[in-house]
């Protein structure tokens, strides 16, 4: 059995869970893995979060923000193809260059 039996409660805006008038809804988050608990406590200390729940929320929000700012693979592929097509057109229009010699 794990040493940590207290639940971590996250505040989320979902229409289920335990109602809380101030913060929306409460959902328990049980960390059953000691390594994950250590990571959460370490992040809590580094970020000076008041609770482990707040530390987990901050970490998840940061990870989500990073994922949402990444370009989609299709956008990367389209940009690559356009760049490749432009280089081919520039090479064809310029004739031979010093690179061809």
Confidence bin at 97 (pLDDT 50/70/90): low
Return the H-helix or E-strand segment holding 10: strand 8-12
What does the pLDDT look like over 19-60, one tens digit per residue?
555 556 566 677 788 999 899 999 999 999 988 888 998 999
Q: What is the pLDDT of residue 1?
A: 44
| pLDDT above 50: residue 101 | no
Looking at the whole model, is its pTM more than 0.85? no
Q: What is the pLDDT of residue 90?
A: 92
How would DSSP label each residue in 14-72?
-SSSEEETTTEEEEEE----HHHHHHHHHHHHHHT-SSHHHHHHHHHHHHHHHHHHSPP
């Amino acid at each position: 059995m794990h040493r940590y039996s207290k639940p971590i409660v996250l505040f989320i805006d979902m229409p289920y869970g335990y109602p809380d008038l101030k913060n929306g809804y409460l959902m328990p988050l049980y960390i059953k893995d000691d390594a994950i608990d250590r990571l959460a406590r370490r992040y809590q200390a580094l970020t000076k979060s008041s609770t482990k729940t707040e530390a987990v929320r901050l970490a998840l929000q940061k990870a989500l923000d990073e994922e949402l700012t990444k370009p989609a693979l299709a956008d990367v592929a389209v940009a690559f193809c356009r760049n490749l097509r432009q280089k081919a057109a520039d090479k064809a229009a310029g004739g031979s260059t010093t690179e061809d010699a």
